[in-house]
Amino acid sequence: MKRIAVYPGTFDPITNGHIDILRKAFDMFDEIIIGVAKVTGKKTLFNVSERAELCRKATEDMPKVKVQEFDGLVVEFAKKIGAVAMVRGLRAISDFEYELSQALMNKKLSNKLDTVFFVPDYKYLYLSSTMIRQVVSLGADVKDLIPDCVEKALIEKFSEEEK
Ligand code: ADP
């Protein structure tokens, strides 16, 4: 049986921290589906198709990784795609409470679905999409923290906003 995992999130935009988690999950599963949430309760910089497209471009060299948009409960999406596990990243302590409560709630909603956590390389421990959006909007060069396609998309987006 093919072992499929879902890696859900907002990915606004995908960063090298997310990619590091994907690479760590790589050997454990036959396929990893990045689930890009349509509605997240957060106002996003990129719309869902832009976020999904950047995920696709950034993982072009990872044949086991696929990208899909989803709406609603992540456990329903996981069921639909036949996922046996959910992948999440754990950064500094701040992620822990939130991730633990999400994992427990998801387990309650779908007893078959377990959450697997990966800790990123220390380089990415304090990296977030929010931080990337903030500093790039102010002109910072953070090439080593984001894929090239994301850097390009951010620069374009901020120059459009200035017009
Ligand atoms: P969400 O809106 O669900 O927080 P994100 O797209 O921000 O979605 O993150 C998706 C998952 O990736 C979460 O588990 C988050 O903790 C993890 N993640 C985000 N950035 C990093 C990073 N730099 N290192 C490791 N994990 C990360």
- As a whole number of angstroms, the distance between CA 85 and CA 39 comes to 22
- 80-112 pLDDT, tens digit each: 999 999 999 999 877 899 999 999 999 999 998
Q: Which domain holds residue 54?
A: 4-162
Per-residue pLDDT tens digits for 41-88: 778 999 999 999 999 999 999 999 999 999 999 999 999 999 999 999
Question: Among 11, 21, 51, which residue has the most ligand 1 atoms within 8 Å of its CB, making it the best to mutate?
Answer: 21
Ligand 1 binding pocket includes 6 (Cβ within 6 Å): no
* Residue nearest (by alpha carbon) to ligand 1 atom 12: 89
How many structural domains compose the chain? 1
Q: What is the CATH number of the domain that holds 65?
A: 3.40.50.620
Angle between helices 94-109 and 74-81 (to 10 degrees): 60
User: For 100-150, how does the pLDDT look when each residue is reduced to its tens digit (9 = 90+)?
Assistant: 999 999 999 999 899 999 999 999 999 999 999 999 999 999 999 999 999
Euclidean distance between CA atoms 91 and 119, whole angstroms: 6
